[in-house]
Structures are given as C-alpha cells and as structure tokens.
Structure 1
Amino acid sequence: MTNQLEQGTSCAGCGVKLQTETVDKPGFIPQAALAKEPAICQRCFRIKNYNEAASVAIDQDDFLKLLGGIAATNSLVVHIVDLFDFEGSLISGLQRFVGNNPVLLVVNKIDLLPKGINPNRLLNWVQKQTKAQGLRVVDIVLCSAKRNIGFERVIEAIGEHRGNRNVYVVGATNVGKSTLINRLIRDYSDLERELTTSRYPGTTLDAVHIPLDDGKEIIDTPGIVYSHRMTEIVPRDVLGALLPEKGIKPLVYQLNSGQTLFVGALARFDFIEGDRQSFTLYVSNALQIHRTKLERADELYADHKGELLAPPTKEQLEEMPEWTRHRLTVRRNSETDLFISGLGWIHVNGASGALVDIHVPKGVRVLMRDALI
C-alpha cells in the first residue's frame, strides 16, 4: 500500500474504515503506518501489541441495520455464545433478524467448566435453554476456540450446513467470536489475516468480509453490546479478574440462614431463610469471596468497599450503577442455579428450598434457571 489512503480502505483487524484525520475517531491510522501490510488502525495496533484499547462507539442504528440485512441474504448464520454467560450472551430475537436462514449455535468456552462434566448433559441443557428462548437451530456444537477443543466439529458442522452460502458470524461482545473466526480463516482460506482479538468488548467495529477459497465469504459482524451483562458495567481493567482465563474451581460454602457472601464489590448474596445447606459458586477464581453475618453486611460494605471488598476500587465504584436487590425463592427439591449475567452463577445444593437476596449493579440480569452442572 502507498502512503496515500485509498478511499474505502478498511482496517484488517476490526473492519472499520481507515482515516488519517482525527485521532479519537474510529479507524485512525498514522500516515507512517500506511505502508505496512496489512494496514490496521491505531486502536487495533494497541490491542495487539499493548493489550489496551481506546473507547470507540459504533452507531447503533447502523449496527441494527447490518444485523437486519441478514434475512435478505442466503446464508448460514453461526451464532456464537459463551457457555459461562449463556443467557447473557444469547441474542434475544435473533430469529426475526435471520429470517429463514439456518442457524448453527456454537457454544464456546466449555474449557471454563470443571473437568469431568458429561458432554451429553451439557448438550441436553443447551438444547432445552435454546428452545425456551425461541431460537430454532439446525445444530449445536460445544467447543473451546481458545483451547482447540471440539473445533474440528465446528468446521464439520459449517461444512454440512453451509452448502453454497456465505457464512455470517454473530454474537455478543467477548464471547470469543474473533478467536473462532481466526481459526476458520486458517481452515477455509489462504488469506494471511488475523482479526483483532482482545478481552475488551466491542473489538470488531464494522462487518469484516473475509473471502473464502470457493468465492464465498465469512462475514464477521460487530459484537452486540448488552448492558445487562456485568462485563459491560465494570471498568475495563476489572475485566481481567472478572473473566476466567482457565477452568474455574467451584467454591462450596456451608451457610446458615442469616449469612452473606460478597464477591469482591461486584455482588452480594444473602441467605435469608432456609435450613443449613451448601451453595456452590461458579465465578472467576481471581475474585475474592468474603463471608459475614447478614446483620453486619451493610456495615462491612460501607466501610470496606473498594479495599477489602474488591475489585472494583472505590473510585471505580463511583462510575458504576448503584446496587439493586433481587429476591428469589428456590423451590424444594429443585436443581437450581442463581445466574448473574457476566459474573457466573450460584448453585443451590440443598433440597429444602431457600429464600435469598442477590445484590448487583442496577441493570445486571439475575435469574433462576435449571442447573447447568
């Protein structure tokens, strides 16, 4: 590429149109970097080399228009979800966007679950949850793109269902979409190209068209930002503690009613009523859990939030929404998870039922579901 920016040239990392005029706008690339091949914007350069990202917004109207255009195409839609945040990362209403195009559901990050989980049980659980959400799929594949687990099956499933179609890849932010697409490129295309991957939400800023060897394309769409996920609420430097990098080790607590667990300063779990029983936490092991009496919980939080109870720090908490309380009643003899989107879940082990409160930043989704494990 010459030192003149050709009109319409896109960043090879995130797909945004490149520009050399405004540093704080999407697609900025310094003049000196234009000669490099492939050309990537300054934001992608920083993510790839320094693991940092500037905050860049994408116009939501353009994004919805992009997603809504899929229905008019003849495509295979690959919907990638994060098993660790299944309900939080599933695209609600996807069916109306894709029309009659077949949907392949790829459930990523199975490596984060404890070892020894029965894959058939996982598959049955995903099928049930997917049906409950009203999403029709032609196939479901469990995998870990990062650990290269089950990826051969992803390739096979795409080959089985693609036919002579393009492939649209859709998903929420931070579900491992770009990591998986980079693997697809290596398997399906001679193109020496790698999308920008990072732990920051919204890394891909525009639709990225990747030519395949048979003349068709993989189209990577921007990640959907869902504000009901904890990962979208917290400051960026908290994501490292919030998002597990490897298999989580479940934490089991025997609690009497009137006891409280704090997950850093991100969430609070109150056991209000019920027989003594155990609760298992499935959250990132980088997060600190503190147990206290319910009667002391308010005081402990007021005195120690952002310090003993961290992350986030006191300063970061000021930028986050205030906590709101969710009261949940767990039925007797039910296999139940208490799910907190973007954080993980708490499994209720007792058969006697329980009345609990969960406090999280306002807007974060909390729900009861059939137990995953």
Structure 2
Amino acid sequence: MIENTEDLYCIGCGAKIQSDDPKEPGYTPVSAIEKGLETEELYCQRCFRLRHYNEVSDVSLTDDDFLALLNQIGSADALIVNVIDIFDFNGSLIPGIHRFVGNNPVLMVGNKEDLLPRSLKRSKLKDWVRQRANAEGIHPVDVVLTSATKRHALDELLSAIEKYRKGRDVYVVGVTNVGKSTLINQIIKQSTGMQDLITTSRFPGTTLDKIEIPLDDGKNLIDTPGIIHKNQMAHYLSAKELRLATPQKEIRPKVYQLAAGQTLFFGGLARFDLIKAPQERNGIVVYLDNNLQIHRTKLIKADEFFARHQGGLLQPPTSDEMETFPALERFEFKVREKSDIVFEGLGWVTVKGGSVVAGYAPSGVGVIIRKAMI
C-alpha cells in the first residue's frame, strides 16, 4: 500500500500522481503506481491509455490553468522556443505570447516542414513566417523549419538552441496539436537515447504540467503544456476526421481548370469560389491533404449543393459530427498578383492575379491571402 504520492509525477505529462479522483489530472490506480515504481516507468492512467490504446480522456484543466503556467516564463531568464504548425500559423499562435515572453529571445520553429511540396523554397517560407510573426508583435531571433516525425533539421535546431540560449534555461512553448512534445521527444532521444519520454498524440492537449529535462550545464529544457487555441481546425474534428483532413505525407498539388462562377468544396470543411477571373479557363492549384475529397459545382448552385450533401458526399465532417460543427464563414479577396488563399490548418489554393475569390472555413478558423509561395 502506498501511503504518500506527494512526490510522484507522471513521466508522460508531468502531472502529480494521485489515486483519489479519476477525473482529476494524475489519477493512477494504486496497483499501477506500485508497478510503475518497480519498473521506474510511472505513468498516470490517462497517459498509459494514450500510449497503449491511443485513447485520450479529458481532464479538468482550464485555459486559466495553462496560462498561469506560462506566466512564469516572463520572469525567467531563458530562451523561448515557440513551436508552430506551418499549416496553421494563426491557429498556432499563443494569444498574447509577446506578453508572456517578456524580454526573453524567441526562436521560432516551424514544424511539419516535410509535408510541404519540395518545390516550395524554404527560404521563402522562413521569410513568410518571420513576417507573420512580426505582424503579431513577435520578433524572433531566428526561424528554423523542421519535422518532428521525420527528424528533419534536428541538428540545425539543436545548434540554434545552443547558440541563442547562451547558458540559460530553454522553455518550449506552443499551442496544442503542433507537434511540440514529439519534437522534444526527438531531442531527448538524440541527446540521451531515451525514447518517447513525453506523451505524444494527434489529439490536442496531452502535456499537463511543466516537464524539466536536464541539460549538460545544469540548466533545463522545459516543456510547457500546450495552450488550447479554440480557433484550430483540429478542435472541430474527431481523430478519424483529422486523419482525412490534415496532411500526413508530402502534399501532391492538384490542378483544376475553373471558369468564373465555379466552386470547389474541400469535403464539408471548406469552400473556394472563383467569382471573377482574368480568362475563360483558369488553372487553380490546390495544396491540401492527398486524401481529402474535392468536389466541383457551379457557384449558383453551391449553397444548395452544400446543404444537401454536407455529412454525406461532402465529408468530413460526418453526419454524426455535424451537430457540433460550426457554420462556414465567408472571406472575399480581390487578387492583384499570383497569391495563395490559405485555409488555416488545411492548406491553400493558388490563384492568378486579376481574380476575385471567396474562401469559406468553419467560424473562427482563419482564411487569409499571401503572395504565392510557389
């Protein structure tokens, strides 16, 4: 019988181990605590089920709990490594992060780089990330593009961390679902040989408290909990639907010859209207997940088509998910030069100058325009 669990913590999410309340963070049955102490692999029940059964359960942590932890960063003397999803820049930003970091330098890491077409120049992408960060009041000392799952540019990232931390602690921050814990796991594996120390999942929100990883000079690499950003596409989809909507392999661009007055539906998640066009037939290049179904129809019939087929022909979302799925919000753009219409968290559509277009995404999810990357 274990009398005191006060100093025991889950090595997956960092939550304090407790065996009293299954609904609270860190809950672990007594038998599992005893076994974990014997094997020196003590996981809370939530992390255990996540690792072995790919099941995620909710915990009673609020946004305020997460933000209270981040508030500690401003008073620290540290390098801040801000991990973002380069498919979802706006949804990746921690709201008001410039207030949290204080005077600490920020190294911005664009994750999931391996999913982008090889024809996209990485130097252009780095410049765009920096510009978008500056527009949000963040002035990173550097931008590194990487892939946590493929270990792309991991050495470059480690070198940059060492260069800019200058003997200080390192705080790794990010919103949920950007691959932050996967990236830290890769760093740990490369540095120590230990695999999967920190719980990872495709689901939002698996790290519940700070996890401190010792560095050689006595300082720490500190993993903070993923901040919940409600305007992420991932928060509107089930795990099965996420696999159909978010890219898992390098995107293969698809070209559609559209005339003005035609519409493309991206499942039931998003919509693109070509309202006016510079010529009779226009090459529209779509960069989305290779498995996401795309349907073409006439703009004049698009609303009726969507109402009739969302959850059926147009999915995800499935019919079971439609009750909680937000209505699509419309954004119109006058395109003066070759540009990308970016659907945050999904991908983008490249259109020619001289067009008038509209993009639709779930209410709260951004649709923006940028100069064409390719």
Using the alignment, how far apart are the partners of 2:3 and 2:179 within structure 1? 34
Aligned residues of 1:283 and 1:343 also touching (Cα < 8 A): yes
Aligned residues of 1:112 and 1:246 also touching (Cα < 8 A): yes
Q: What SS does structure 1 have at the residue aligned with 2:186? A: helix
Which of 134-143 and 121-130 deviates more? 121-130
Which of 87-96 and 10-19 deviates more? 87-96
Output one character per residue of 1:171-206: Cα deviation in whole Å (capped at 9) or x when no partner.
111111111111222344576761001100111122
Using the alignment, how far apart are the partners of 1:86 and 1:159 within structure 2? 25
Amino acid at match of 1:301: F
Match of 2:343 in 1: 340
Task: Please state if 1:84 is matched with 2:83.
Answer: no
Aligned residues of 2:23 and 2:60 also touching (Cα < 8 A): no
Displacement after TM superposition at 1:357 (Å):
2.2
Displacement after TM superposition at 1:310 (Å):
0.9
Displacement after TM superposition at 1:136 (Å):
1.3
The correspondence of residues 253-272 of structure 1 with structure 2, limited to 5 A, is 253-272=256-275
Using the alignment, how far apart are the partners of 1:314 and 1:363 within structure 2? 21
Gaps of 5+ in 2: none
Using the alignment, how far apart are the partners of 1:19 and 1:296 within structure 2? 57
Match of 1:292 in 2: 297
Aligned residues of 1:15 and 1:208 also touching (Cα < 8 A): yes
Q: What SS does structure 2 have at the residue aligned with 1:206? A: coil
The correspondence of residues 42-191 of structure 1 with structure 2, limited to 5 A, is 42-189=45-192
Amino acid at match of 1:305: Q
Displacement after TM superposition at 1:263 (Å):
0.7
Displacement after TM superposition at 1:267 (Å):
1.0
Displacement after TM superposition at 1:92 (Å):
4.2
Displacement after TM superposition at 1:120 (Å):
2.3
Task: Please state if 1:356 is matched with 2:349.
Answer: no
Pair 1:191–1:250, CA change in 2 (3 A): closer
Match of 1:310 in 2: 315
Aligned residues of 2:90 and 2:366 also touching (Cα < 8 A): no
Using the alignment, how far apart are the partners of 2:83 and 2:195 within structure 1? 23
Amino acid at match of 2:292: L
Query: CA RMSD of the aligned region, Å?
Result: 1.9
Using the alignment, how far apart are the partners of 1:220 and 1:303 within structure 2? 46
Scaled by the length of structure 2, the TM-score of the pair is: 0.92
Output one character per residue of 1:39-65: Cα deviation in whole Å (capped at 9) or x when no partner.
111221122112221123422222212
Number of equivalenced pairs: 368
Using the alignment, how far apart are the partners of 1:173 and 1:370 within structure 2? 27
Pair 1:57–1:290, CA change in 2 (3 A): farther
Seq. identity, %: 47
Displacement after TM superposition at 1:4 (Å):
4.5
Aligned residues of 2:154 and 2:187 also touching (Cα < 8 A): no
Scaled by the length of structure 1, the TM-score of the pair is: 0.93
Displacement after TM superposition at 1:168 (Å):
0.2
Match of 2:199 in 1: 196
Aligned residues of 1:189 and 1:212 also touching (Cα < 8 A): no
Which of 241-250 and 182-191 deviates more? 182-191
Pair 1:40–1:172, CA change in 2 (3 A): same
**Structure 1 consecutive aligned stretches of length 4 or more whose deviation exceeds 3 Å:** 2-5, 187-193
Output one character per residue of 1:154-177: Cα deviation in whole Å (capped at 9) or x when no partner.
111111111221110001111111
Using the alignment, how far apart are the partners of 1:235 and 1:3 within structure 2? 38
Amino acid at match of 1:264: G
Q: What SS does structure 1 have at the residue aligned with 2:82? A: strand
Using the alignment, how far apart are the partners of 2:96 and 2:129 within structure 1? 17
Output one character per residue of 1:226-282: Cα deviation in whole Å (capped at 9) or x when no partner.
122211122333111122111111122111111111111111112122233222222
Match of 2:284 in 1: 279
Pair 1:125–1:359, CA change in 2 (3 A): closer
Aligned residues of 2:317 and 2:325 also touching (Cα < 8 A): no
Of 240, 246, 249, 1:237 maps to: 240
Pair 1:192–1:234, CA change in 2 (3 A): closer
Aligned residues of 2:121 and 2:373 also touching (Cα < 8 A): no
Aligned residues of 2:130 and 2:140 also touching (Cα < 8 A): no
Output one character per residue of 1:268-316: Cα deviation in whole Å (capped at 9) or x when no partner.
1121222332222221112100111112222222222111111111120
Gaps of 5+ in 1: none
Amino acid at match of 1:360: A
Amino acid at match of 1:86: F
